[in-house]
Amino acid sequence: MLTLYLGNKNYSSWSLRPWLALRQLDIPFREARIPLYQPDSASRLLAVSPSGKVPALKDGELVVWDSLAIGEYLAERFPEHGLWPSNARLRAEARSVSAEMHAGFAALRSQMPMNLRASLPGCGHTPEVLADIARIQAIWQGLRQRHSQHGDFLFGPFSYADAMFAPVVCRLHTYGVALDGVAGRYADTLLALPALQAWYADARAESEVIAQAEPYRQG
């Protein structure tokens, strides 16, 4: 059985991405959580991931690390689940928006770090962050307008592109970012997924507080 190594569910946006894809598509796996920023975190991470980071996926003797690489591996390992669109042009577009999410939006990442237990409306709403959000909304609106007749997600059926953007939806929820129209309905669809709600429940049950991930924490 696959094993997915994760960080803290409250904070680890990268861990959420492959976990959500696996759960949403009912691919069996075992999860192993490694709390981050603990005295033994570095040694535990290096024992399971060559990069010393999460997520990492183990399949037998093979280890795949990095959320986007894991998505590509899962798409090849389980082609029947359609993690990428079947159409070659749509598949290229899904990979493009996923890669943009993977490499970009630095302001959003730094000013609105993932924190599922918190409610921080108004925090982090800098011009740079709002520019990132505008670009993300444009992606969502454009894709949903083109593919709404085929399903509720970016390319119709759920794909790895949706998993890549799920932590953004969580961030926008935490920081009270209002989305209108098509983009808002898409965000609501992701938030309502039973799999994502299960991740939220696990995050709320965690006790660790990572100061580096809580720039707006008072006291």
98-108 residue pLDDT tens:
999 999 999 99
% of the chain exceeding 90 in pLDDT: 97
Distance CA 14, CA 92 (A): 22
CATH top class, domain 88-200 = mainly alpha
Task: State the pTM of this model.
Answer: 0.96
Whether residue 37 contacts residue 46, with contact meaning beta carbons closer than 8 Å, is answered with no
Average pLDDT rounded to a whole number, residues 80-103: 98
In this predicted structure, the answer to whether residue 218 has a pLDDT above a threshold of 90 is no
CA atoms within 13 A on the CB side of 91: 11
Q: What is the CA radius of gyration of the chain?
A: 17
Write down the H helix ranges in 25-153.
41-48, 67-77, 88-103, 106-111, 127-147
Element (H, E) at 64: strand 62-65
pLDDT on residue 137: 97
Averaged pLDDT of the chain:
97
| Domain extent listing, the chain | 2-81, 88-200
Q: Write the pLDDT tens digit of every residue in 166-190.
A: 999 999 999 999 998 999 999 999 9
CA atoms within 13 A on the CB side of 184: 6
CATH top class, domain 2-81 = alpha beta
> Would you place residue 219 in the very low, low, confident or very high pLDDT band (cuts 50, 70, 90)?
low
